[in-house]
Amino acid sequence: MREIDPNQVPVSEVKKIMQGGISPRPIALVSTLSKDGIPNLSPFSYYNMAGYNPPIVVFSASRRDTDGRQTDTYTNLMETKECVIQAVTYSIVEQVSLASNDYPSNVDEFLKSGFNALPSKTVAPPRVKESPFQMECKLLQMIPLGEKAGSGNLAVCQVTYIHVAREIMTRNLIDPIKLDLVGRVSEDSYTRILGNAIFQIEKPYEKHGIGFDSLPDFMKNSTIYTGNDLARFANVEELTTMEEAEKFLEIYRVHSEGSETESLETFYKLQQQEEYKHMLRCLLSLSIDNSEKQKLLELTAIAALRNADTDFAWKTALLVALI
């Protein structure tokens, strides 16, 4: 691996390396008012949720890279203690980028970026009409993290009111597909949180998975299973027994009998379609050596995992010990 001492390389390189490795990052589109009532709008990708009782969000209004000056957002927050944080969706990301221009302090960035302002309920800064998720906030604490160009200022804010567009809701929850968020990656790159970018992982809130240490050695030593695959196997509460695997094998052997036209080509076509039950029937009918059969069994188990059929995956994985 490349070894980097942040004190021995240019600050610009540290920035690029960190932004590339810490991503994707959510973007806070922050609106504030100056003490003279001039609206300011700026995006920040050093941003996240820090708690929900009370609801707390944090973002870093870093000093400017060029000369170390504080941003208008920082100055306004320190003077008024209020802001609104909006979600950045794909439909508005170009306008958000436009708002990131370093306009003079007396310029209304709502006008520059083409966004429409809506009045807030509990704070003075306006909301961005075009964003479907808006949080009105009060500044609890501003934590300075340095005095150099690029040094951060961590704004800790308490959410006082939330606005959510009904069209992004499904069964009273925010639907990630409908929300269509974007995040920062590095330099000029963004990511869109949509389609195949969204997936589910069952969280072990009310159960205790058996863990990696309980997996059979032949599974842990596999060259086919990834760490993610093994973690899914290890997230069950009880091991599948060899007796259960044997019964499972007998059932599928019966189903595979008479399948004279099956081939490796057929198996890999089924794999592309993730037809894992047909994959198992196919491989059991093939005349191949045990090492090849082990590989196909593991590929079948992976297909079952991807379709959330953990029971089938476990029984298939254990067949390696029975062939």
> What pLDDT band is residue 295 in, cutting at 50, 70 and 90?
very high
At 104, list the tokens. Answer: 């003079």
DSSP string, 71-104: PHHHHHHHHH-EEEEEE-BGGGHHHHHHHTS---
Domain boundaries, the chain: 11-197, 212-321
| Tokens read off for 239 | 């091991």
pLDDT band, residue 199 (cuts 50/70/90) = confident
The pTM assigned to this predicted structure is 0.82
**Residue range 208-247, pLDDT digits in tens:** 899 999 999 999 999 999 999 999 999 999 999 999 999 9
With beta carbons less than 8 A apart as the criterion, state whether 316 and 300 touch: yes
Helical spans, DSSP H, in the chain: 11-21, 72-80, 93-99, 109-113, 176-179, 217-220, 227-233, 242-256, 264-272, 276-284, 290-306, 310-318
How large a percentage of the chain has pLDDT more than 70? 98
- pLDDT tens readout for residues 254-280: 766 655 567 999 999 999 999 999 999
Please give the CATH architecture assigned to the domain spanning 11-197.
Answer: Roll (2.30)
What average pLDDT does the structure give for the chain? 93
pLDDT of residue 176: 95
- Max distance between CA atoms of the chain, in angstroms, equals 84
pLDDT band at 204 (very low <50, low <70, confident <90, very high): confident
Give the closest residue to 134 by CA, choosing from 88, 103, 192.
Answer: 88
The dihedral over CA atoms of 291, 294, 298, 301, expressed in degrees to the nearest 10, equals: 160
pLDDT at 96: 95
Strand partners, 49: 57
